[in-house]
Amino acid sequence: MSVAPAGYDQQPGMMQPGMMQPGGMQQQTVVVGAAPQTMIIMQESKPDSGLGMAIFTCLCCFCPLGLPAIIFACMVDSRWDSGDKEGAKAAARTATILWKVALGLGIAGIIIALIIVPVYLFIIVPAQIAAALSSG
């Protein structure tokens, strides 16, 4: 048995060179546990009815499509609350399509009006006035 230098004690459980552990060599087994699985529960949320845009397009853009958009937008909440999730999604899609088409028609109408009114006021009306003055 060797002696540790002064000031250095032998650590417990450490074998000195040339010594065998009683019972021969021992095998160590390391068990690594798997990380806990994370479970994500997806909960469906109520689809956006688009009621605000439906009301806006009914009042400001194109009423013949804005009114059905309001009706379908109101159906979304009642169908969702009764448990008809697919019906609520379908009503939301229909309302969205209707208000988008109404908005597009309203914007197209405004653009057409912005083109036709100046043409009428600054080209057609002066030409008619000039024709009336020259003939009369």
66-94: pLDDT as tens digits: 999 999 999 999 999 999 999 999 999 99
**22 within a domain of the structure (yes/no):** no
Q: In this predicted structure, what is the pLDDT of residue 38?
A: 83
* 87/84 Cα distance (integer angstroms): 5
pLDDT of the residue at 109 = 95
* 23 located within any domain: no
Residue 67 lies in a domain: yes
Q: Is residue 40 part of a domain?
A: no
CB neighbour class for 67 (10 Å; exposed up to 12, middle 13-18, buried from 19): middle
pLDDT of 29: 76
- pTM of the entire structure? 0.62
Work out how many domains the chain is built from and give that number: 1
**Sign of dihedral through CA atoms 103, 108, 114, 116?**
negative
pLDDT at 15: 56
Q: Is residue 122 part of a domain?
A: yes
- 8 Å CB contact between 98 and 65: yes
Within a domain: residue 129? yes
The pLDDT assigned to 30 comes to 73
Q: What is the mean pLDDT of each run of 10 residues along the chain (136 residues)?
A: 57 56 66 77 88 96 95 96 95 97 96 94 92 85
Q: What is the span of the domain harbouring residue 74?
A: 51-135
Which residues in 86-105 are b (16+ Cβ under 10 Å) and which e?
A: eebbbbbebbbebbebbbeb
Q: What per-residue confidence (pLDDT) applies to 95?
A: 97
Domain membership of residue 9 (yes or no) is: no
Q: Report pLDDT for 136.
A: 66
